[in-house]
Amino acid sequence: MTYPDNFKDLVKLETYIGTGNPNSQILIVGKEVATDIEDGKHKELEVKNLESFNKNNIDWLQNINNNVSQIDIPVWRMENDDNNPLYAFKGASITKEGHTWRKYQKLNDYIFDKISNEVINFQENIFITEMSTLPAKTTGKAQKRAEFKQKLQERKETFFKSSFIQDFSIVVLACSNYISGSEITDIFNVDFIEEKGRGTQKYWIHWNKDKTKIVLHTRQLSANVSNDLLKGIAREVQHFLKN
């Protein structure tokens, strides 16, 4: 697998990078990595989640140095410590409708006209990262941290303005109020075009001047996000890909 040079440069920042295919055309940005090591029922999984988050940058360095491709990554098992960010939780099934990755999988299936798939494979076509580098189970807990605003602003000015992030032609900002309309214009060099959807299921469409980049801003894709919202976003992406 060939890793883009600007991706290699980004990894040198020693920050949380993300998961999925760095050669993909689509970027999804969530709020933050959701993990809660105090969750008694799923404590082992939550601990592994946090470990994967903390190792993210190092794991990417190893992938680059060893030229690891997605086909090289074994199916993920709970008993194994390794959870490669190039294909995190490979082969795992997520059936809980409110789970963020279940929503990402549905969006992937709608974009590429695939039969609904419970097995997580959207990372073959998509790269995902987070607006904030402070993991938390809920947005409320994340925003209570003293360094939240400062860290968020720093990431917008560095990580999101990097050449690697800027090269994505399709960006889905599924992070609600973690970024404003004016910040979207500044960071991604796009202009607001149109609002679609209704009620709590809205999304905002932005394009650059020459129509080579589309940025879609919406709520966090979890909980009661409707299939109609996901289908609406998918239609915009499909339209972009066809033109």
Q: What is the pLDDT of residue 35?
A: 77
CATH topology (fold) of 5-242: Uracil-DNA Glycosylase, subunit E (3.40.470)
Contacts of 22 (CB under 8 A, 6+ apart): 3, 4, 7, 86, 127, 164
Q: What is the pLDDT of residue 34?
A: 85
Q: Whole-angstrom Cα distance, residue 118 to residue 199?
A: 28
Q: Is 216 exposed, middle or buried (0-12, 13-18, 19+ CB in 10 A)?
A: buried
How do beta strands 126-130 and 19-20 pair? antiparallel
Q: Whole-angstrom Cα distance, residue 147 to residue 85?
A: 26
Q: What is the pLDDT of residue 43?
A: 60
Residue spans of the domains in the chain: they are 5-242
Q: What is the pLDDT of residue 40?
A: 47
> pLDDT under 50 in the chain at which residues?
39-41
pTM of the model: 0.95
Q: What is the pLDDT of residue 36?
A: 62
Rounded to 10°, the helix 100-111/227-242 angle is 40
